[in-house]
Amino acid sequence: MKISVQINPPSILCSSIMFAARKTNLAAVARTFARGKKIQNKKQGVNNASTQKVVNQLSALSATKKQPKLLKLCPEDLIKHKTITNAWNVFQRKQRTKEAEILAKQYESIKDAMTELKELSPELFEAALKKERKFFPLEYRVPVDYPPRNPWNYQVKKL
Amino acid sequence: MLRFTLRAPTFTRALPLLKKYPVSTHRSCRTPKPTMFHKQVSRLYSTGSVQLLAKILSTLLLLRPPVITADLPKFESQYYNYQKELWKRLMWTFPKWFYFREGTLAEQRFRELNKNPVHNNPNMEFIGGRPIIKHQRDLRFKQVLRLPKPYLEGEEGEVEGLESDKPVVPNSRTTPADASNDTTSLERKLARTLYLVISEDQGKLWAFPNFSCENTPLHKVAEEGLYGLGGTEINYFNVSPTPCHVQTSDKGKEFFIKLRILSGSFVAQNKNTTFKWLTSEELGEHLSKNYYEDIKHLMSAV
Amino acid sequence: MSRPVARFLSSTSKARGVWSEYAARPSSLQLVDKTARNELFEGFSASGPSSMKSNNKHNYTSPELLDDTFKSAYEILEQDAARQYKFIEQNKDKLSAKQLEKAMVKTEQYNPEVMYNTREFADCLDRSVPVYRKFLKEKWESYGQMITMQRLEQLHVIPDTLPTLAPETEVNVKFGHNDEAEFADWVVPGTRLPAFAVSKPPTIEIQEFEPVENGTGLYTVLVVNPDVPDLSCNGYSTALHYALVNVPLDFVNNTITPLSLVEHPERVLKPYMPLLPEKNVPTQRACLWVFRQGHELKDVGVSESQFDIRAFAEENQLHAVGAHVWRQDYDRSTNSVRAEYGLEKGRVFDQIRNAEPLL
């Protein structure tokens, strides 16, 4: 007589089923007793393809055995790292202040221009403030790392 | 006197708005529709006193936006590379069993490209510490992965076969125009913003194109002037009709209008006209020093 | 395994930047440990970083690209420091003492050698250098100051003696005559000490961190005990146990030792008398107050029992800048210390049962 206690759910794709099964310790040791002989897969009791798939999926997400060793720096290297970070902060601060200065100057420029235009010719001033309905041109490209084969498009056909 | 008192309300209404929305003045400043009376007054003013005050000029700042990304300063690129190395060092092991199923061709190709590291053999002496191998990765170092690709990597001579098997080699960031230093080409300095300057006297004096302006709006004058100077084979984009700068010169008041060239090219219509596409630094060499100092902030740093 | 060696600070080559010049800058800005300095700028030897103590240091590997990036970072920061030095040079006369101090800190705060010193050799920093003082101040504010203020408030030193305190100086107290390791170290504020441990006058370290505007550089130190039982009013009164006046202190000479007072007996207004609580008296607090003097004190009289510290501070224009506290109980060494100071045997207090029970 063959006693079979194999648990073979049709397709275990949902991880919650997996966990529930693990709790009861049934799927984890899904064993087949055939004539009193214990057959067990090399990988801890997973002997069917769909369960193996879920195990693979879960292990891809889990950190087990995949985390590298902690980065332990000696004092000299730690100081070097801090110096690099400090230099980066100084560098960025300098860039930001420069940008802010230029923006402020550009704003002043626009303001001056408009004030003068108002004095010189109110009509042109009105025209310069008129809101036009226009679309962002499709030909305008975002800069990329490497240029296309023809860097510049000499055709004027509007899209 | 009367003119000023009547016009005062619009003037004061427009300015605070300008201050509130500094970047996009052209969009946010809604000036009220001029009434009949207002129109009358302004016409009186413009016909009567424009000539007396100063001549209005529309100066064209035609720029070619960068085609490729900016060159990073040395420290910046070094810093990014350093951070990338740290990131790689601290990254988890690649779960290859998830992406390459055992026994498949792809897995075989992956295994050929990535040789397993030497395991912690007790009979061997290791210089620089004993390896800690988990999932065929030494946990002390970054994991260097080579993934099988449908094409060959790098320059490996002539490859016969399908187009898709050929190695992908990106184009050079420098162009022939850079090599020959052709300043009239739109293909030079792809990483920088270029500005158009013209000269009417065979390259002695360089300046931005200038057009005198009667009652036509400034940006219209600039756009029409551009077609007159460089032909109609230019596709441009104007972000705003608002002038971005005013410069007083002996000719009059120059109002700067920024246009962007998107495609096409500038072809001088007049025989005497010569032109150049220059970066902001090169502009400093071609324009007079004081003039350049005044307009330097309008140029992009990139 | 080969290590990339970055030789960019070697004295033989290249023009040296501001951080390698020691003509105008104090030499204490240099890294104390010469081997570590070598390793910082020129890479490790084959045996690994010498600062690592473990036997595993042969196996140490630095992060990749660290040295090259450090080289550029150092140049950027050094250029920034050079600009700052130039700014100080140009505006020396216009800047106030505090502004000058701030600017001086900016020149050196990112110097890797200074950072190394503050990290590894925090105990022996040169206190005359602004950047080190700033570091010490930050360190004090992050721990010592908080501990002191917590103890002062929880033990009600504030407001039992003075109304409040805005701490500006670090105050440390040590009883140097003790041989036992337990009592020989600096006293943590609020500790209970036995009578023998406090039987001799303490060593007091008073560290200023920033230059004082219009300062006389003179300090007053008082130790008061606000817990003397006063039977006449069925309460407690304050007694003065130690008073020092006109003690000159600065950033570097910041310690008052019993020996220095032997040389200058005029600074002792009231000689040291330890707190000697009598039996069954509640725990007594020895409150040490440090004051900055507005002027030099002359002919000051003090009453030892019934001492009013608030009135004293107000009369003599004293500005409290720091405090410390320790506590004492009656213990088995109290009687011997009493005998040492020539006092008669202390009283013994008893609990008196009220006629009416509390409950």
DSSP 8-state assignment for residue C237: E
Position B244 scores a pLDDT of 95
Asked whether A82 and A73 are in contact (CB, 8 A), the reply is: no
pLDDT category, C302, cuts 50, 70, 90? confident
Q: Provide the domain limits for residue B214.
A: 48-69+175-298
pLDDT at A21 over 90: no
Asked whether B299 and B245 are in contact (CB, 8 A), the reply is: no
Residue C225, number of CB atoms within 10 A of its CB: 24
A39 & A80 share domain: no
pTM, whole model, 2 decimals? 0.81
pLDDT at A71 over 70: yes
Distances (CA, A) of B95 to A46, A59, A106, B51, C195: 19, 8, 52, 78, 68
Residue A57 counted as domain residue:
yes
Residue A140 counted as domain residue:
no
Identify the residue among B82, B130, B141, B143 best suited for mutation to test binding to C, counting C beta carbons within 10 A and taking the highest.
Answer: B82
Residue A113, number of CB atoms within 10 A of its CB: 23
Q: How far apart are CA C170 and CA C127, in angstroms?
A: 13
Alpha-carbon distance A89 to nearest alpha carbon in chain C (angstroms): 10
Alpha-carbon distance A87 to nearest alpha carbon in chain B (angstroms): 9
Q: What angle do helix axes A122-129 and A75-120 make, rounded to 10 degrees?
A: 140
Alpha-carbon distance C49 to nearest alpha carbon in chain A (angstroms): 7
B205 & B115 share domain: no
The proportion of chain B whose per-residue pLDDT surpasses 70, expressed as a percent, equals 77
Is the CB of B81 less than 8 angstroms away from the CB of C69? Answer: yes
The arithmetic mean of pLDDT across residues A84-92, rounded, is: 97
The arithmetic mean of pLDDT across residues C149-168, rounded, is: 96
Residue whose token pair is 């220095």 = C260
pLDDT at C49 over 70: yes
3-state helix, strand, coil in chain B (%, to 5): 35, 15, 50
Position A5 scores a pLDDT of 40
Q: Which is more confidently placed, B41 or A23?
A: A23
Position B149 scores a pLDDT of 78
Residue of C nearest to A88 (CA): C73
Q: How many CB pairs under 8 A join A and C?
A: 67
A98 & A52 share domain: no
Q: Which is more confidently placed, C359 or A26?
A: C359
Structure tokens at B137: 């990765």
Contacts of C56 in chain B (CB under 8 A): 129
Position A2 scores a pLDDT of 41
B144 & B111 share domain: yes
Q: How far apart are CA C66 and CA B149, in angstroms?
A: 31
pLDDT category, B11, cuts 50, 70, 90? very low
pLDDT category, A1, cuts 50, 70, 90? very low
List the subunits that have 3+ CB pairs under 8 angstroms with B. Answer: A, C
The total number of structural domains that make up chain B: 2
3-state helix, strand, coil in chain A (%, to 5): 50, 5, 45
| Beta-bridge partners for C207 | C170
Task: Provide CB contacts within 8 A for C297, sequence distance 6+.
Answer: C218, C220, C245, C246, C316
Q: Which residue type sits at B1?
A: M
Is the CB of B170 less than 8 angstroms away from the CB of A111? Answer: no
Residue A1 counted as domain residue:
no
Q: What angle do helix axes A49-61 and A15-24 make, rounded to 10 degrees?
A: 100
Angle at C68 between CA C67 and CA C69, to 5 degrees: 95
A54 & A96 share domain: no
B228 & B142 share domain: no
Is the CB of C76 less than 8 angstroms away from the CB of A81? Answer: no
DSSP 8-state assignment for residue B256: E
Residue of A nearest to C50 (CA): A74
Is the CB of C73 less than 8 angstroms away from the CB of A73? Answer: no
Alpha-carbon distance B51 to nearest alpha carbon in chain A (angstroms): 9
How many distinct helices (H) and strands (E) make up chain A?
4, 2
Range of lowest pLDDT (A13-17, B53-57, B237-241) = A13-17
Is the CB of B22 less than 8 angstroms away from the CB of A148? Answer: no
Type and span of the H or E element at C130: helix C130-142
Interface membership of C19 toward A (CB under 8 Å): no
- CA count, 13 A, side-chain hemisphere, B222: 27
Asked whether A142 and B70 are in contact (CB, 8 A), the reply is: no
Position B66 scores a pLDDT of 96
Position A28 scores a pLDDT of 44
Final residue belonging to a domain, choices B147, B165, B183: B165
Contacts of B93 in chain A (CB under 8 A): 65-66, 68
Asked whether B188 and B174 are in contact (CB, 8 A), the reply is: no
Alpha-carbon distance C79 to nearest alpha carbon in chain A (angstroms): 11
CATH of the domain at B253: 3.90.79.10
Q: How far apart are CA C84 and CA C251, in angstroms?
A: 24
The arithmetic mean of pLDDT across residues C292-319, rounded, is: 91
Q: How many CB pairs under 8 A join A and B?
A: 202
pLDDT category, B13, cuts 50, 70, 90? very low
B65 & B78 share domain: no
Q: Which of B158, B195, B198, B194 is nearest to B175 (CA)?
A: B194
Is the CB of C40 less than 8 angstroms away from the CB of A81? Answer: no
The total number of structural domains that make up chain A: 2
* Sequence-ordered alpha helix ranges (H) in C200-277: 258-263
Residue B110, SS3 per DSSP:
helix
Asked whether C247 and C256 are in contact (CB, 8 A), the reply is: yes
A46 & A24 share domain: yes
Asked whether C80 and B101 are in contact (CB, 8 A), the reply is: no
Is the CB of A120 less than 8 angstroms away from the CB of B140? Answer: no
Contacts of C63 in chain B (CB under 8 A): 82, 85-86, 89
* Mean pLDDT of all residues belonging to chain A: 79
Residue A2 counted as domain residue:
no
Q: Which is more confidently placed, B261 or C53?
A: B261
Q: In this predicted complex, what is the ipTM?
A: 0.83
Interface membership of A20 toward B (CB under 8 Å): no
A117 & A79 share domain: yes
Contacts of B98 in chain A (CB under 8 A): 56-57, 59-60
Cis-peptide, bond into residue C159, ω within 30° of zero: yes
B59 & B194 share domain: yes
pLDDT category, C99, cuts 50, 70, 90? very high
pLDDT at C71 over 70: yes
What are the phi and psi torsion angles at A140 (to 5°)?
Answer: -70, 120
Q: How far apart are CA B37 and CA B43, in angstroms?
A: 10
Residue of A nearest to B234 (CA): A156
DSSP 8-state assignment for residue A32: E
Q: How far apart are CA C176 and CA C171, in angstroms?
A: 16
Identify the residue among C62, C65, C75 best suited for mutation to test binding to B, counting B beta carbons within 10 A and taking the highest.
Answer: C65
What are the phi and psi torsion angles at B11 (to 5°)?
Answer: -60, -50
- Name which of B45, B86, B256 is nearest A122 (Cβ-Cβ): B45
Is the CB of C77 less than 8 angstroms away from the CB of A90? Answer: yes
B137 & B241 share domain: no
How far is Cα of residue B147 from the mean position of the Cα atoms in its chain? 34
CB contact residues (below 8 A), chain B span 183-222, against chain A: 186-187, 190-191, 213, 215, 217-220
A47 & A88 share domain: no
B61 & B186 share domain: yes
The arithmetic mean of pLDDT across residues A125-152, rounded, is: 92
Best-predicted range by mean pLDDT (A2-6, A21-25, B22-26, C293-297):
C293-297
Position B44 scores a pLDDT of 40
Q: Which of A67, A18, A77 is nearest to A46 (CA)?
A: A18
Final residue belonging to a domain, choices B140, B165, B190: B165
A55 & A79 share domain: no
pLDDT at C359 over 90: no
Residue A93 counted as domain residue:
yes
* Mean pLDDT of all residues belonging to chain B: 82
pLDDT at C221 over 60: yes
Residue B35 counted as domain residue:
no
pLDDT in tens, B136-179: 999 999 999 998 877 665 555 555 666 666 777 899 999 999 99
pLDDT in tens, B38-49: 433 344 444 444
pLDDT in tens, B156-166: 555 566 666 67
Residue C194, SS3 per DSSP:
coil
Is the CB of B140 less than 8 angstroms away from the CB of A69? Answer: yes
The arithmetic mean of pLDDT across residues C152-161, rounded, is: 96
B58 & B195 share domain: yes
Residues in chain A: 159
Final residue belonging to a domain, choices B102, B134, B165: B165
Contacts of C69 in chain B (CB under 8 A): 75, 78-79, 81-82
Q: Which is more confidently placed, C289 or C305?
A: C289
Q: How far apart are CA B258 and CA B277, in angstroms?
A: 15
The arithmetic mean of pLDDT across residues C119-135, rounded, is: 94
Q: Which is more confidently placed, C4 or C16?
A: C16
pLDDT at B100 over 70: yes
Range of lowest pLDDT (B28-42, C139-153, C170-184) = B28-42
Residue B5 counted as domain residue:
no
Task: Provide CB contacts within 8 A for A32, sequence distance 6+.
Answer: A4, A5, A6, A39
pLDDT in tens, B194-245: 999 999 988 899 999 999 988 899 999 999 999 999 999 999 999 999 999 9
Range of lowest pLDDT (A123-132, B132-141, C266-275, C298-307) = C298-307
The proportion of chain C whose per-residue pLDDT surpasses 90, expressed as a percent, equals 79
* Mean pLDDT of all residues belonging to chain C: 91
Torsion over CA: B78, B84, B88, B90 (sign)? positive
Position C74 scores a pLDDT of 96
Q: Which of A114, C333, A40, A45 is nearest to B17 (CA)?
A: A114
Q: Provide the domain limits for residue A34.
A: 15-61
The arithmetic mean of pLDDT across residues B277-295, rounded, is: 95
Position A132 scores a pLDDT of 85
The proportion of chain A whose per-residue pLDDT surpasses 90, expressed as a percent, equals 53
B58 & B202 share domain: yes
Q: How far apart are CA B7 and CA A126, in angstroms?
A: 13
Is the CB of A75 less than 8 angstroms away from the CB of C51? Answer: yes
Q: Which residue type sits at A44?
A: Q
Best-predicted range by mean pLDDT (B17-21, B35-39, C190-194):
C190-194
B84 & B158 share domain: yes
Position B250 scores a pLDDT of 86
Residue of A nearest to B86 (CA): A71
B78 & B215 share domain: no
How far is Cα of residue B268 from the mean position of the Cα atoms in its chain? 24
Q: Which residue type sits at B87?
A: W
pLDDT category, A9, cuts 50, 70, 90? very low
Position A46 scores a pLDDT of 67
Structure tokens at B153: 């990597």
Q: How far apart are CA A112 and CA B298, in angstroms?
A: 14
Structure tokens at A80: 């070097």
Residue C224, SS3 per DSSP:
strand
B86 & B64 share domain: no
| Beta-bridge partners for A135 | none
pLDDT at C90 over 80: yes
The proportion of chain B whose per-residue pLDDT surpasses 90, expressed as a percent, equals 66
Ordered by where they begin, the domains of chain C are 18-141 (1.20.58.1180), 156-340 (3.90.280.10)
Task: Provide CB contacts within 8 A for C283, sequence distance 6+.
Answer: C192, C227, C277, C327, C328, C329
Position B160 scores a pLDDT of 60
Q: Which is more confidently placed, B247 or A21?
A: B247
Position B237 scores a pLDDT of 94
Position C15 scores a pLDDT of 57
Residue B22 counted as domain residue:
no
The arithmetic mean of pLDDT across residues B293-302, rounded, is: 93
